[in-house]
Structure 1
Amino acid sequence: MLDVVIVGAGPVGLFMGLLLLQRGHRVRILERRSDRSTRSRAIGIHPPALAELSRAGVAAQLVASGVHIRRGIAYSRGRRVAELPFSGDPAVPFILAVPQAVTEKVLETAVMEVDPQAIIRGTDVREVLDNFRSVRVMANSGSKLHQFTARLAIAADGAHSSIRQGLLPHLAPKSYPDSYIMGDFADDTGHGSDAVLYLEPEGIVESFPLPGGVRRWVVRLGEPDRGTTAAGLAELVGSRTGEVLDAASNSMVSAFEVSSRLAKRMIHGRVILLGDAAHEISPIGGQGMNLGWLDAAALAPIMDASLKGDDVGRRLREFEKLRRSAAVRASRQAGLNMALGRPLPPQFMTTRNKLFAAALELPAVAGLVERRFTMR
């Protein structure tokens, strides 16, 4: 019998698996995809999560591979509005920008170094059965049905978690009136390692540096995207910000709408919901992946104690309470970020921006905003 089966080999599932393997437990990580994704997807690693990755021994390669974003700058209609340094944590005075494909590769390599058999790809989990003394995980691999038996199971299968759907079928998502399109282009802006927000009357444009001379652009749309191309996205960015993007240099275009879903309970007998499976929040602000890593870091020592026979009921209840509180806080911050980016008539935009800039001149306010953006 295995100690733990983890469903999902994304960043959160891999990190959770690594932490448990490092503690000497028998773990299998089941992943529906046959190969790792090569798309950049989530890119921001915040200081608290980076500290946990460091404790697990996987931060150094990510820090060396990524861009260190040390400040954010806001513009509006060609004028600089405000600046916010991310220097509140002296040990990590930056947000690290790394494509998710790189992050997953680093984590997978670390997992395989501990146990080359830990990750099983091409395995689609169909059912998780809690038998009170163990958990049976039924999965398809091609035409074959496989069964894995473990003492505990973790659902790290993302925002569309089938395991969460089975446990909490009536947990409906909350929708928001926000849609976005994003893409990665060669960076000829001259903004270097700065994150840039363009607070425009038509809606926000966000811009983040990536390794290799690439920059991520995120544009708020007035309605769900209807198939915008790289050229169309470049034109949108140009019309709002004046920045000229080379459409031929584009390496990714993706549109998304926003919803959130917060489970009241993460612990369901011997099955635990983790990361986006437990709390889906808006990608605006880039906190979801980090939230999942912090879930895993808090859970790993409790699971370790449980697997060794300790009574961890009180610790699990405290874990659930604290991690839900963190998810609520992150969801509210994401909501504020989206509100900041919604369209405003030019005269209201000007007034709002002046108030925003004046507030950031106050050290107490700037410190609070910095802590919220960096998840400290």
Structure 2
Amino acid sequence: MHDVIVVGGGPVGLYTALLLRQSGLDVVVLERRPERGSHSRAIGIHPPALRALAAAGVADELRRRGVLIRDGIARSGGRHVGTVSFSVLPGTEQYVLAVPQAVTEEILERRLERDFPGTLLRGVALLTTHDAGDRVLAVTRSQGEDAVLDAKLIVAADGARSSVRDDAGISARPRRYPDCYVMGDFRDDTDDGDDAVLYLETGGIVESFPLPDGLRRWVVRVGSPVEHPTVEKLAALIRERTGIGVAPDTNSMISAFDVRSRLAKRFVAGRTVLVGDAAHEISPIGGQGMNLGWLDAARLAPIIGASLQDGKDVAAHLARYEKERRAQAALARRKAHLNMALGRPLPAVLMRPRNAVLGALIRNGAVHGGVARAFTMQ
């Protein structure tokens, strides 16, 4: 019998397992993918999450492999609207760290394998789970062979469509939004350096973020879902709204997504605990989802350790975990809703006065600090 089975070998599952192994627990991670993904996907690491990652010993390498974004600039119609500087933030992490998710997963997986070899089991599909009262049973399949694993607890880090959550009978109804996006990574031919730039345009927002290795992520709001995005169409949209040309032949990633969110009714049910997207799916706009998952794990790991190692009754702590993390997820969902509303199309007759108000607010010292904290989850 293991102490904990973590389902899902993405950034949240790997970090959860690393914390639990560092506390002395017997943990396995089940990941159905035979190989780590190469997609850049989530890129933003906010200061609270970076401090949590430092506790696991991986923050320094992430910083070395990433780009420190210290300023966010808003433009519209070729004009400067305002600049939010993260230098006003408390502490030493006065930036958002941009690291492709593939690199983040590589660093976490390598640290886990170095310190606790054999923890991550790749190519293992979870078929079903069953809470037997005194333990959890996980039925798995690998290379055509089925097996049953026992554990004292199971942690679901298996994403927004979590099968573990479903097996535990936890409801998480999705909420859909009228927002769709196409995003891609291109060679950075701008003069924006390490700044993030938001283009507030009448046709919808365009977001631009620096990445390592001389790349830049572009995210464009579109009017309806795009099934098969093309590099050429994305480049044309970027030029049409911002006047900036990106080189299609330098594209290294392209994808499209529409937005939904969901908040599980419960984060704890019997011997099952939810973290990350299994507990709360948040709009990618604002980059909060992965960070929320890491903060879930940082809050949860000491509670599990106290229960399984010290034999303490942690029911009250788990209840607080659920209450606190649900509240933080609900707050993140509201922030994402505001971010999406800011990026929706707006007629020029309304866009100009709206941007003038935004610029004035950003220049106000007290408001400036609040905006910087909101954008960095503080």
Question: Under a length normalisation based on structure 2, what TM-score does the superposition of the two structures give?
Answer: 0.98
Where does residue 46 of structure 2 map in the other structure?
Answer: 46
Mind listing any 5+ residue stretches in structure 1 that lack a counterpart?
none
Where does residue 21 of structure 1 map in the other structure?
Answer: 21
Where does residue 77 of structure 1 map in the other structure?
Answer: 77
Mind listing any 5+ residue stretches in structure 2 that lack a counterpart?
none
Where does residue 139 of structure 2 map in the other structure?
Answer: 138
Where does residue 266 of structure 1 map in the other structure?
Answer: 267
Q: 1: distance between equivalents of 2:352 and 2:60?
A: 42
Where does residue 201 of structure 1 map in the other structure?
Answer: 202
Q: 1: distance between equivalents of 2:169 and 2:245?
A: 46
Where does residue 107 of structure 2 map in the other structure?
Answer: 106
Where does residue 9 of structure 2 map in the other structure?
Answer: 9
Where does residue 332 of structure 2 map in the other structure?
Answer: 330
Deviations 1:282-316 (A, max 9, x none): 00000000000000000000000010210001111
Deviations 1:207-228 (A, max 9, x none): 0000000000000001111422
Give 3-state SS (helix, strand or coil) of 2:63's partner.
Answer: helix
Report the CA distance between 1:169 and its aligned residue: 6.3
Q: 1: distance between equivalents of 2:195 and 2:115?
A: 37
Quick one: which amino acid aligns to residue 24 of structure 2? G
Give 3-state SS (helix, strand or coil) of 1:218's partner.
Answer: strand
Q: 2: distance between equivalents of 1:116 and 1:231?
A: 44
Deviations 1:329-370 (A, max 9, x none): 111000000000000000100010001111111112111111
CA RMSD for the aligned pairs? 0.9
> How do 1:1-376 residues align onto structure 2 when only pairs under 5 Å count?
1-87=1-87, 88-168=89-169, 170-308=171-309, 309-376=311-378
Report the CA distance between 1:140 and its aligned residue: 1.1
Task: Kindly indicate whether the alpha-carbon contact (under 8 Å) linking 2:168 and 2:272 is maintained by their aligned counterparts in 1.
Answer: no
Give 3-state SS (helix, strand or coil) of 2:148's partner.
Answer: strand
Q: 1: distance between equivalents of 2:187 and 2:299?
A: 38
Give 3-state SS (helix, strand or coil) of 1:215's partner.
Answer: strand
Give 3-state SS (helix, strand or coil) of 2:80's partner.
Answer: strand
Give 3-state SS (helix, strand or coil) of 1:136's partner.
Answer: strand
Give 3-state SS (helix, strand or coil) of 1:147's partner.
Answer: strand
Report the CA distance between 1:238 and its aligned residue: 0.4
Task: Kindly indicate whether the alpha-carbon contact (under 8 Å) linking 1:137 and 1:147 is maintained by their aligned counterparts in 2.
Answer: yes
Give 3-state SS (helix, strand or coil) of 1:151's partner.
Answer: strand
Q: 2: distance between equivalents of 1:112 and 1:7?
A: 17
Task: Kindly indicate whether the alpha-carbon contact (under 8 Å) linking 1:47 and 1:89 is maintained by their aligned counterparts in 2.
Answer: no
Quick one: which amino acid aligns to residue 333 of structure 2? S
Deviations 1:75-111 (A, max 9, x none): 0010111100112133101000000000001000111
Q: 2: distance between equivalents of 1:354 and 1:155?
A: 45
Question: Under a length normalisation based on structure 1, what TM-score does the superposition of the two structures give?
Answer: 0.99
Q: 2: distance between equivalents of 1:186 and 1:53?
A: 29
Identity value in percent: 54
Report the CA distance between 1:172 and its aligned residue: 1.8
Task: Kindly indicate whether the alpha-carbon contact (under 8 Å) linking 1:197 and 1:207 is maintained by their aligned counterparts in 2.
Answer: yes
Report the CA distance between 1:122 and its aligned residue: 0.5
Q: 1: distance between equivalents of 2:259 and 2:14?
A: 25
Task: Kindly indicate whether the alpha-carbon contact (under 8 Å) linking 1:4 and 1:150 is maintained by their aligned counterparts in 2.
Answer: yes
Q: 1: distance between equivalents of 2:33 and 2:300?
A: 25
Report the CA distance between 1:170 and its aligned residue: 4.7
Report the CA distance between 1:168 and its aligned residue: 4.0
